[in-house]
Every structure is written in structure tokens, then in C-alpha cells.
Amino acid sequence: MSLQGRHILSIDQFSRSELEHFRSVAEKLSPVAKRKVRCTALAGAVLANLFFEASTRTRMSFHTAFARLGGEVVDTTGFTFSSISKGESLEDTARVIAGYADAIVMRHPEQGSVAKFASGINIPVINAGDGIGEHPSQALLDYLTISREFARLGKTIDGMTIAMVGDLKHGRTIHSLAKLLSRFENITFSFIAPENLRAPAELLQELNNAGHKVVEYSGIQEGLKNAAVIYATRIQRERIEGGETMEGYGENFRINRRALTNYAPQDAIVMHPLPRDSRPGAFDLSTDLDDLDNLAIFRQTDNGMLMRMAIFACVLGVDKNIEQTFQPINIYKPKKLSDKDASFYCFDC
Amino acid sequence: MSLQGRHILSIDQFSRSELEHFRSVAEKLSPVAKRKVRCTALAGAVLANLFFEASTRTRMSFHTAFARLGGEVVDTTGFTFSSISKGESLEDTARVIAGYADAIVMRHPEQGSVAKFASGINIPVINAGDGIGEHPSQALLDYLTISREFARLGKTIDGMTIAMVGDLKHGRTIHSLAKLLSRFENITFSFIAPENLRAPAELLQELNNAGHKVVEYSGIQEGLKNAAVIYATRIQRERIEGGETMEGYGENFRINRRALTNYAPQDAIVMHPLPRDSRPGAFDLSTDLDDLDNLAIFRQTDNGMLMRMAIFACVLGVDKNIEQTFQPINIYKPKKLSDKDASFYCFDC
Amino acid sequence: MSLQGRHILSIDQFSRSELEHFRSVAEKLSPVAKRKVRCTALAGAVLANLFFEASTRTRMSFHTAFARLGGEVVDTTGFTFSSISKGESLEDTARVIAGYADAIVMRHPEQGSVAKFASGINIPVINAGDGIGEHPSQALLDYLTISREFARLGKTIDGMTIAMVGDLKHGRTIHSLAKLLSRFENITFSFIAPENLRAPAELLQELNNAGHKVVEYSGIQEGLKNAAVIYATRIQRERIEGGETMEGYGENFRINRRALTNYAPQDAIVMHPLPRDSRPGAFDLSTDLDDLDNLAIFRQTDNGMLMRMAIFACVLGVDKNIEQTFQPINIYKPKKLSDKDASFYCFDC
């Protein structure tokens, strides 16, 4: 299995065995993310971390992932390159940066722009989100999270039920994760969304065609039943007419402690792509879950850095025997990252 | 003495022996700051350097300090995180970043925000200034500077007189340094300020209670007498009604060559938190002192990087035997950083 | 030959043998730029990469150059330092940063500001462009490109003809490269420009005085004859009255496939400082050349990082025996950076 030199543009590119390879490299790198060892596999490599749209946490996640493998990162932020504003084509910009860096991460507000950027160059380009398009590393980290949680709980992805809740129409996270999971077998998708935010018909068709079961619900009361994973998303109300005052949203679509207790299996895990909106009246994933082991949202972001380490290792061809580049480290680390949640690096510490 | 894992939020946290520990670690790291050796103690560690308020020099000081210990830094600048603007709580943001980094430096315009950010997470958070609140690393670097200057001059902090001049009401630097010095013995504080910018009564009370002597002066003519240290501050005139045309300020509160010659001991050192306003009519610390050894302001900023190295070494637990991580270095360095001043790294070169 | 500790402010500073030293160090570093080895010569060194004016690609070029030698970089971007906005003098800012970093790269919109910044400090300062002033690293990379292309083609700089096309009045790139080439012997400069954008008389005089031949042309039909190098520049139309609709510009001054085929020697190389404006009606260097080996523009930017590596190595005194700091590297790299162009690192791969 070699993924070296590959662009990471869409989750559609990957077979099940490739997905499992990313996951297994991530597991190998886990001691690095846990600060038990440091890694020098990418010493001498340079990442161009290009954010044409603000996304501080995603930028930091890619940056720290590359740095933890021993590489050096140059960041850009802002709406555009100064050279693009002078009429330079995206193709020229791409070719110039390919001469500086060994890999490129790119986020851009325009769908398809990352693929266009990547099309003419041969160093690996990783799509960190292009508008309503793809965000493949998010789907990969969600998959890693489900896999690790299930390992803890003795469950398997094949045959599981996942409830996806909220805005299933616009959420690229939902679409990408559903497509990824369709590589596995016999999944039941419980889609729980308001009428005007239902998942696209093509997605349902695609999942059905791949042999999975899709059931749509108009509320969590029925939809959470049997869910091993509850994937909540924020209603991107700024994109929806009347979104600010969605009637009944709180009752039927909001995941909080009461909903979890009343409607879901006891060991269901709760995921969310973050950020969650904690302002009053936001109807997003509730903070009253924060002291429950079920809440996997911070393990999810922890896994984000870890999966991005795995992605870099794979596309830059250092995934094989990567343990040989591990070095001892002797820097202070806390037993747990916070007092509330069980962070990934303490599962076995 | 172990400071590992500690947040650095306020100067109030530290005992005299802890202050002296920071200083002694800084002295051990001096050959690194002087570019005589390089240090790999933090190889594999990642710092999140979060500036929610512009402060280029402070950001660079922390960044270079971490880098000189072998660590990797990810910077953010700008008024807010994109995720916070979407309603994410400071607590969620903190927990996410704790999963990426080994330590966090944070500057924020709102008093108390850094402590709030730090409260839920267990990796060390260093307050780089929160509004009119604290700026503990500044007080520590000022202390290091006084200590190093006094070593050169054969003086001791216990028993000394320090004149603090300017805006003693708003200057957090003044307040923090005074509190730090109150851990020592028998200090005389000469507070020299315009009537409406006098130091807060609580500060005077606190210093008195700790056994020190505080004398207030309405001008430098009397106030500089016996001062081993003259600590000048900029009047933050933008915060004061009528500040732009403060009557008599120049005569009575401005430190320049004439003032130093006429009113101060010959070997008094002059400090300032920088930046100093060199525009005409700014009434800030005069540039006519720039060729005098008394002027310690650039040794102060040099010591800033050094003390921040010591802070990182302490809170990340690599302060013990840190000399064992020193490596040879063979990069060009000038004999002096500038032709005017005696920079710290040339004291003994 | 030692260039250590030197500021790089203007191309005027350098003799022919110094130019050739930069070039030979760049050639030595070529395996690093080709990712065949990595280099640790600047391990422990810190660069302050100060951009007071947006220039993403130039900032990235310097950043990645320093990083590929093993050093650490702290970037700043934005119109000003927060401290300068508070009235700090450029001299104070320079001295403070000299205490943090081992070298400084600075770009600033104001002519002469970089020299002013550098004047009071003794760590090397590299001018990355100051308004209509100098941009010496651009001239050095252009020189490196000509030298490398000529090595491939069996030509020499002494005795060559170079055609410079476009806005010869404002282009600092043109001026700097012409001055650099004047250190060589017996060059013929073909200056091809619209009447109101002709090169300054002083430049012509200077080149003549140095023993070179200068011929001015009003169009490419005559001017490209015998040119071993065609150096095209963008008309900075935003600086010219009536620039948006320059009559006849397309016919007489634009380099495209037809012009190259009809008027130039078969093995002429085409250079451009980039970015090139690829928007319709931009009259800039045409993309219909992109599949020709003649087009050296991306090799030029590749050489930019390489020459900047050489500059850092020289001013920080690690240029001698630098091969001894090379380390093995085992990271994926493509055979070619793009499918179109022959990138520098594949000349001999």
C-alpha cells in the first residue's frame, strides 16, 4: 500500500483498504501525539499551509501535525495572495509554491479551486476545505474517532447504526463522512433533519446503491434509537432563510443530556465537527454533556491532529517503518488535557 | 524547586525562591541567548502563540525564545479566532488547542480572559498581557535586568531604592514589578507621578504592609535622589483626558540626560518597558541617553527573550540539567548588536 | 572570500568575484533545493522575516530558504509594527529585533527605509524590496538563472546580448539586474520600451561607462535579434496615466509564441520577475509559451529560493564546507514539479 505523492482532494478517491491504511498509520503515530516520543520523519521537509479563508483551528491542526513529524511550516492567511490580486493565475501560483515546499495544504472558499490548484503540480496537495465542496481530512479524522471509540467499546463499523442530526443539506462534513462510511458494510444511516434541511437525494441514493440502509426521521425521539454514533451538526443558520428562528428546532434536533438519556443507547458516542455554538439560543450541541464519557468531540479534534500526521506521513512516503524515526522526549505533559474529558492520549496512560 | 505544569498568570503566584529559580535558569541559558551554543531541550515541543491583540515585539520575543530552545511555534494574530466568532466558548477553544500544543502563550485585550482560558486545561498557559490586568513575564524580565545590572555594579536588590516615574496609575508594568520586588526586603519605592496619575492606594498599602518604604514625589528633582534604578514609563495619553497637552510634564517627569546628570546617582540604571515614543513632543524617555551605559532598555528587551526561555524551560520541566542539551553552534554573530549600547550578550565577550 | 556579517541592501555593494561567490555557494546548495539531502547548517539560528508590505511569494521564498538550511523563522506581516504605531523609531525597533534574531529580512514600501533600519545594528539585514528602491536578491536570482541556463546551453555571460522588454522606467528588477550584469564584460543591452517608459538616462550612462553597449528599440521586431536572454516585465499600468489602454502595446512589446518564433534566436531564454498577469487584455508575458523549454520563469523562482539559501549561508558565515552539514533525506519528491516545465531540480535527475 503506497499513497505517496497523492493529492488528497476528495474522500471519493479512497478504497476501504486505503482508509484502513491511513488509520493504521495514525495508530502507529499515536505515541507521538501523546508526547511519549518525538518523531523526526519529516526533518528537512517544508509545508506550505495556505489558508485563503479563515479557519484558525484547522490551520493549527495541520501546522502542528507537520511540526510533530519534524517538518517546518510556512503559513499564509488572508483572502488572497498579493500576486493573485495582480492577475496571476492559480496555476502559476501553484507552480511557484511547488518549488518552495514539499507539500501543500490549501483552504479556499471556492468549490473546486483546490483541485484546480493541484491539477498542474506534482507535489502532494491536501484539500483543507473548499467552500461547499470537500473536506476529506475531516471525514478521515471522524472515521479514526469512530474506529478508536469502537475499539474501546468492542464494536465494529460494519453493521453499525449512525444517527446524523441537524443540517444534512449543507453540511459537507456529513456528506463526506457518509461517503467514507459507505466503503464499509451494512451501515444503517439515521438521518434526522428538519424538512427543509434534509440530505440530498443523490446522497441517499448513493448510500442505498452501496448496500446500506437509510432511514429519515423528523426528530431525535425516534431517530436516536440503536445509534452507536450520534453525529450532531450546527445549523448554519446564516445560510438559511428564516434560520434564526427555526420553530421546534430545539425540541426535535438538539442533542443534550435529556435527549441522550431518553432516546439513545447508553454507550452511544456523540460527535460534532466543531466549533459548537455555545451562545444562548444557538440550539447547538449542549454543554450539559461535557462531563460524560459519551461526548467524543475533543477526542475528535485530538484525532484530527493525529490523522493529519498520518496523511502527511503517507503522501510524503515516510509511513513505512516510521517508528524507526521516533526519538525519546522528556518534556512535561499533564496526565489529562482537561479535568472534564477523557482525552485520547490518556486512554492507556 | 519545580515549576513544571504551572500556568503563569500573575506575578502574585510566585515566592521569592521561585523568582530566584526563574532567574537562575535564565542565567544558565545565557550562553544560548548569546549564540555561543544552541539548545535542543524543547525539540519535539510545540507552542501555540496566541495574540488576540497586536503586540509584534512581545509575540516575537516569545516565539524566538521557544525556538531557541529547539521547539516549534504556531502563531495566530488577529482580534479573534474564526471559531470564536461562530459562538465557540473560550473554554472549548482552550481544550481544542491543548490537544495541539504543549504550551500556550496568550495575549488578549480583556482582563481576566487568559485566566479563564487557562482554567479548564492542564497544559501550561502563559499570560502575555490581558488588558489592564497582568503581564507577568514583563515583571520577570525587569527583575532579571535589575539583578544582572546589579551584579555588574556590585549592588543588591534588598535595600535598594527604585524610582518609578510617569503614569503610575494605569501602567500594569509598574504594578507588576512593584509587586514582584515586594518579595525582597527593605526596598524604598520613589513614586514620581503627576497628581492625577498617582499609583493606586492599594498598591502603596500592599508595599507598606510587606515592610517596604514608599515615598511619593511630584517631580524628578527630588524623586531621583538615591535611586539605583529609574523606571520610566510612557504616559498612555490616549487613555487620559487632556493627556495630549499635559502641563509641565516635560520638566517634572521626563527622564533625559539633564535629569540624569542633575538629579540621579552616577551609576543609576534607566529602564523602560518599551516601546518608547520618540516623536517630537511625546515627553517619553529621551534618546539623548542612548550612548550612556546607564540606559538599560535594550539589555531589558534582550533579557526578555532570555527570561521567556527560562519560563518555558521551567513550566515544561526541562530546567534541570538543561546544559546537557547544549550543542555547538558555528553561526556568525557580531561582537555587539549595535554600536551604541552594551548588549547583554557582550558583557563577557 | 567572506561575506559574513554583511547587510544585503543594494546590488551596488558587490564586486564580480562576490557575485560569483554567491553563485558558487548556490550551486553547492543545489542538492538541498533538489531535496536530495537536507542541510542543518543554520540549526539554532533564527530569522526575523519582516514584511511591512504584502508579498506572499517573496516572504515564502525567504522563509523556506532559511528553513531548508535548518533555521527557524518568525514572520511578521502587515503595514506596521504595533510598536511603531505608538511612536517607536525604526532604530529602536531594529535594535530590539536584533536581540531576538540572527538575521533580518525586511520589505518596506518606503525607499531607503531598509538601509535606515540596518544602519544601527550589526546583525545582517537583507533588503527584500523597499518601494522603487532596490531588490537585490531578485537580481542575484536572475543572475543565477542566466548562469545556469547558459551552462546548459554552452554560453557565457561575458559578451552576451540581453533584451529587456516592457516598463524599463519603473521596474526596479530591470535596473538591478542591469547594474549587476555591468560587472561582467562586453554585454549588449537591447532596451525595448514604449516611448514614455524608456529606461532612465543615468542607467544607460552607467552601462556605457562600464564599457557595455546599449541599444534602444521601439518594438520587439528588431530588438529581440541576437538576444540570448529576453527579460520581459509587466507594465505596472496602475502607475501610468492612460496605462489601461496602451495603444499598440500588444503588438510591439508583448512576448508570446509568435514573437519568439519570428524575431528571436531559437535557444533564447525567456525570463520574467513574476507574477505575470494572465487576465485577458493584460498584455503580459503570454501563457502560450508554457510548454517551451525556453520559458525559464519557473526555474527562476526555483532559483530564487536557492539563491536566498546562498545569501543566508554567506552572511551567516556557514558557506565554507557547507556540504559537511548535509544529511540524508528520504522524503517523497516527484520526478518533476509540474508536467509542463523543466524544473531546476530535474536538470540532472
Residue percentage of chain B with pLDDT more than 90: 76
Contacting B residues, span 295-314, partner chain C, CB-CB under 8 Å: 298, 301-302, 305
How big is the CA angle at C182 (ends C181 and C184), to the nearest 5 degrees?
A: 70
Per residue in B169-184, pLDDT (tens digit) is 988 899 999 999 999 9
The CATH number of the domain holding residue B117 is 3.40.50.1370
Mean pLDDT of chain B: 91
Amino acid A239: pLDDT: 61
Amino acid B247: pLDDT: 60
Find cell 434560520 and name the residue: A243
Q: Which residue has the higher pLDDT, C81 or C178?
A: C178
Amino acid A242: pLDDT: 65
Amino acid A349: pLDDT: 45
- Residue C342 belongs to a domain: no
- For residues A207-224, average pLDDT: 96
Contact yes or no for C87 and B278 at CB 8 A: yes
Q: Is the pLDDT of residue A7 over 70?
A: yes
- B72, B116, B312, B325: which to substitute to probe chain A, counting the most A Cβ within 10 Å? B72
**Spatial separation of the C-alpha atoms in residues C87 and C103, rounded to whole Å:** 24
Per residue in C10-62, pLDDT (tens digit) is 999 999 999 999 999 999 999 999 999 999 999 999 999 999 988 899 999 99
> Which of C255, C277, C298 lies at the terminal end of a domain, its last residue?
C298
- Residue C220 belongs to a domain: yes
Amino acid B172: pLDDT: 87
- C57, C288, C299, C308: which to substitute to probe chain A, counting the most A Cβ within 10 Å? C57
Q: How many CB atoms lie within 10 A of CB B57?
A: 23
Pairing of the two strands B46-51 and C103-108: unpaired
Q: Is the pLDDT of residue C330 over 80?
A: yes
Q: Do A128 and A153 reside in the same domain of the chain?
A: no
- Using a CB-CB cut-off of 8 Å, the residues of chain C touching B337 are 95, 98-99, 121-123
**Spatial separation of the C-alpha atoms in residues A219 and A201, rounded to whole Å:** 19
- Residue B5 belongs to a domain: no
Q: Do A238 and A332 reside in the same domain of the chain?
A: no
- Residue A81 belongs to a domain: yes
What is the pLDDT confidence band of residue C345, given thresholds at 50, 70 and 90?
Answer: very low
Say which of A38, A61, A335 has its CB closest to residue B100: A61
Per residue in C227-270, pLDDT (tens digit) is 999 999 987 666 666 666 666 667 788 999 999 999 999 999 99
Query: Looking at chain C, which subunits does it touch, using at least 3 CB pairs closer than 8 Å as the criterion?
Result: A, B
Contact yes or no for A64 and B100 at CB 8 A: yes
**Spatial separation of the C-alpha atoms in residues C37 and C325, rounded to whole Å:** 10
Q: Do A289 and A149 reside in the same domain of the chain?
A: yes
Q: Is the pLDDT of residue C99 over 50?
A: yes
What is the pLDDT confidence band of residue B345, given thresholds at 50, 70 and 90?
Answer: very low
Please tell me the total count of domains within chain C.
Answer: 2
- How close B75 gets to chain C, by Cα (Å)? 9
Say which of C93, C122, C318 has its CB closest to residue B334: C122
Q: Is the pLDDT of residue B185 over 70?
A: yes
CB A331 within 8 A of CB B44: yes
Q: Do B261 and B324 reside in the same domain of the chain?
A: no
Q: Do B66 and B203 reside in the same domain of the chain?
A: no
Q: Do C265 and C171 reside in the same domain of the chain?
A: yes
Q: Find the DSSP H helices in chain B.
A: 16-33, 56-68, 82-85, 90-100, 113-119, 136-153, 172-181, 201-209, 220-223, 249-253, 257-263, 297-315
Per residue in B10-29, pLDDT (tens digit) is 999 999 999 999 999 999 99
Instruction: Using CA coordinates, name the residue in chain B closest to A71.
Output: B72
CB B224 within 8 A of CB B259: yes
- How close C222 gets to chain A, by Cα (Å)? 29
Residue percentage of chain C with pLDDT more than 90: 76
Per residue in B211-239, pLDDT (tens digit) is 999 999 999 999 999 999 999 998 766 66
Say which of C42, C45, C76 has its CB closest to residue B56: C76
Q: Is the pLDDT of residue C158 over 90?
A: yes
CB C47 within 8 A of CB C74: yes
Contacting A residues, span 91-110, partner chain C, CB-CB under 8 Å: 92-93, 95-102
Mean pLDDT of chain C: 91
Contact yes or no for A278 and B92 at CB 8 A: yes
Q: Do C110 and C169 reside in the same domain of the chain?
A: no
Q: Do B208 and B324 reside in the same domain of the chain?
A: no
3 state SS for A145-195: HHHHHHHHHCCCCCCCEEEEECCCCCCHHHHHHHHHHCCCCCCEEEEECCH
Amino acid C25: pLDDT: 98
Amino acid B347: pLDDT: 41
* SS3 at position C175: helix
Q: Is the pLDDT of residue A345 over 50?
A: no
- Residue C340 belongs to a domain: no
- Residue C348 belongs to a domain: no
Find cell 454514533 and name the residue: A229
Q: Which residue has the higher pLDDT, A266 or B53?
A: A266
- For residues C100-109, average pLDDT: 96
What is the pLDDT confidence band of residue A342, given thresholds at 50, 70 and 90?
Answer: low
CB C111 within 8 A of CB C129: no
Q: How many helices and strands (H and E) does chain C possess? A: 12, 11
Contact yes or no for A92 and C64 at CB 8 A: no
A125-129, C242-246, C287-291: range with highest mean pLDDT:
A125-129
Contact yes or no for C88 and B274 at CB 8 A: yes
- How close B191 gets to chain C, by Cα (Å)? 25
Q: How many CB atoms lie within 10 A of CB C275?
A: 24
- Residue B317 belongs to a domain: yes
**Spatial separation of the C-alpha atoms in residues C16 and C9, rounded to whole Å:** 16
Per residue in B33-58, pLDDT (tens digit) is 999 999 999 999 999 999 998 889 99
Q: Is the pLDDT of residue A286 over 60?
A: yes
Q: Do C240 and C285 reside in the same domain of the chain?
A: yes
Amino acid A245: pLDDT: 63
What is the pLDDT confidence band of residue A75, given thresholds at 50, 70 and 90?
Answer: very high
Q: Do A195 and A327 reside in the same domain of the chain?
A: no
CB C189 within 8 A of CB C213: yes
Q: Is the pLDDT of residue B241 over 70?
A: no
Amino acid A249: pLDDT: 67
CB A77 within 8 A of CB A99: no
Q: How many helices and strands (H and E) does chain A possess? A: 12, 11
Amino acid C347: pLDDT: 41
Amino acid A257: pLDDT: 96
Q: Do A312 and A227 reside in the same domain of the chain?
A: no
Q: Do B111 and B169 reside in the same domain of the chain?
A: no
What is the pLDDT confidence band of residue C283, given thresholds at 50, 70 and 90?
Answer: confident
- Residue A160 belongs to a domain: yes
Mean pLDDT of chain A: 91
Q: Is the pLDDT of residue B281 over 90?
A: no
CB B87 within 8 A of CB A279: yes
Domain that holds residue C19: 11-135+304-333
- How close C161 gets to chain A, by Cα (Å)? 27
Contact yes or no for A337 and B89 at CB 8 A: no
Instruction: Using CA coordinates, name the residue in chain C closest to A120.
Output: C338
Of A231-235, B328-332, C229-233, the range with the lowest mean pLDDT is A231-235
Residue B339, judged by CB atoms within 10 A of its CB (0-12, 13-18, 19+), counts as exposed
